[in-house]
């Protein structure tokens, strides 16, 4: 697991918040100072929040739970996908569809539709349709794939969400709170920390900052997986006993 080094925070610009005019007063405990009308985040608070989040994630993963990564802003999309794949967890990095959590059964039905469309295409059956119909079905497949591919293997609700910018992902946060799902979030100075269970105050616009935070969080998940009990291996059947005469 990567060590937490405050120097890395500084080099990645984790401490740079938004303009002071855009701040949320509830973020006051996490702000160190103001420089040139920019709020500077207290890195001691960032460190504290990151350590708490890592401990929590390692614990829930060691119990066999799922964690869903969410980040749909341009700067977060690729880092979220990379971190989720490294951790072997589901992710949403294009668009949060309303009801992804609260109407999970409908989302699963859309994924079944995706499987049907993929089977039509790979099996060659789509060639029997008119070109117009083929074009419509291909567009439908691409749209579902783009929005839901990251959660196609998520067969149950997650225990927690890792969110980049809870202000941007307000619908995801609201759904999680309705269902009692914990929210771990990289939260900048313009957000409301009261909506987040485990806030990590930090720059949520810088790719380097997002990358660094997700590196540590995905490492915590990998560590939690390492402590899962291994599934018992089935013993190969031995030779059949020779019947006595």
Pairing mode, if any, of strands 31-35 and 38-41?
antiparallel
Identify the pLDDT of residue 233: 52
Q: What is the pLDDT of residues 191-245, one digit of tens each?
A: 999 999 999 999 999 999 999 999 999 999 999 999 887 755 555 555 555 544 3
Average pLDDT for 20-35 = 93
CATH H-level, domain 6-101+157-226: superfamily: Glucose-6-phosphate isomerase like protein; domain 1 (3.40.50.10490)
Identify the pLDDT of residue 235: 54
> How big is the chain, counted in residues?
245
Q: What burial class does residue 29 get, using C-beta atoms within 10 Å of its C-beta: 0-12 exposed, 13-18 middle, 19+ buried?
A: exposed
Identify the pLDDT of residue 127: 84
Q: What is the pLDDT of residues 64-85, one digit of tens each?
A: 999 999 999 999 999 999 999 9
| Mean pLDDT (the chain, rounded) | 91
Q: What burial class does residue 216 get, using C-beta atoms within 10 Å of its C-beta: 0-12 exposed, 13-18 middle, 19+ buried?
A: buried
Q: Are the CB atoms for 67 and 60 separated by under 8 Å?
A: yes
CA 54 to chain centre: 14
Identify the pLDDT of residue 5: 81
């Amino acid at each position: 697991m990567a060590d937490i080094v405050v120097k890395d925070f500084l080099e990645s610009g984790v401490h740079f918040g938004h303009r002071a005019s855009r701040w949320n007063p509830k973020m006051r405990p996490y702000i160190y100072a103001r420089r040139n009308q920019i709020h500077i985040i207290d890195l001691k608070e960032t460190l504290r929040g990151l350590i708490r989040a890592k401990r929590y994630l390692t614990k829930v993963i060691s119990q066999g739970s799922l964690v869903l990564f969410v980040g749909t802003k341009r700067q977060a999309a690729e880092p979220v996908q990379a971190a989720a794949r490294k951790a072997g967890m589901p992710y949403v990095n294009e668009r949060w569809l309303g009801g992804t959590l609260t109407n999970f059964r409908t989302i699963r039905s859309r994924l079944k539709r995706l499987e049907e469309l993929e089977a039509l295409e790979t099996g060659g059956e789509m060639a029997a349709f008119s070109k117009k119909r083929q074009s419509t079905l291909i567009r439908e497949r691409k749209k579902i794939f783009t929005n839901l591919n990251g959660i196609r293997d998520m067969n149950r609700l997650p225990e927690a969400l890792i969110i980049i910018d809870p202000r941007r992902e307000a619908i995801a946060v609201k759904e999680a709170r309705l269902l009692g799902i914990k929210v771990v979030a990289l939260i900048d100075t313009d957000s409301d920390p009261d909506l987040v269970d485990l806030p990590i105050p930090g720059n949520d616009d810088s790719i380097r900052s997002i990358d660094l935070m997700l590196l540590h969080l995905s490492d915590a998940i990998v560590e939690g997986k390492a402590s899962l009990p291994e599934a018992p291996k089935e013993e190969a059947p031995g030779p059949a006993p020779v019947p006595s005469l």
